[in-house]
Amino acid sequence: MTLGRYPELYLALARDGHRQARRLLAAKVDPIEERKTERQAKHVSIANSFVSVVPK
């Protein structure tokens, strides 16, 4: 699992990402699957907002 690329990711953000991943693991949740689910929800939200803006 990656948290981001070096020059773009600050140490504080990396530490926060690590803590969040550890919390998910403690709750028996796969952090990678959780990230995939969040991305899919974001894409659906964006697609829905686009559909609502485009006239039929």
pLDDT value of residue 4:
79
Q: Is 4 left (phi over 0), alpha (psi -120 to 50) or beta?
A: left
Q: Where do the domains of the chain lie?
A: 11-53
- Does the pLDDT of residue 56 top 80, yes or no? no
40 close to 32: Cβ distance less than 8 angstroms: no
What does the pLDDT look like over 32-47, one tens digit per residue?
Answer: 999 999 999 998 888 7
| pTM higher than 0.85 | no
Q: Work out the pLDDT band at 7, boundaries 50, 70, 90.
A: confident
pLDDT value of residue 8:
81
Residue 4 token pair: 């981001």
Q: Cα–Cα distance between 35 and 38 in angstroms, integer?
A: 5
Chain centroid to CA 25: 15
Q: Cα–Cα distance between 31 and 28 in angstroms, integer?
A: 9
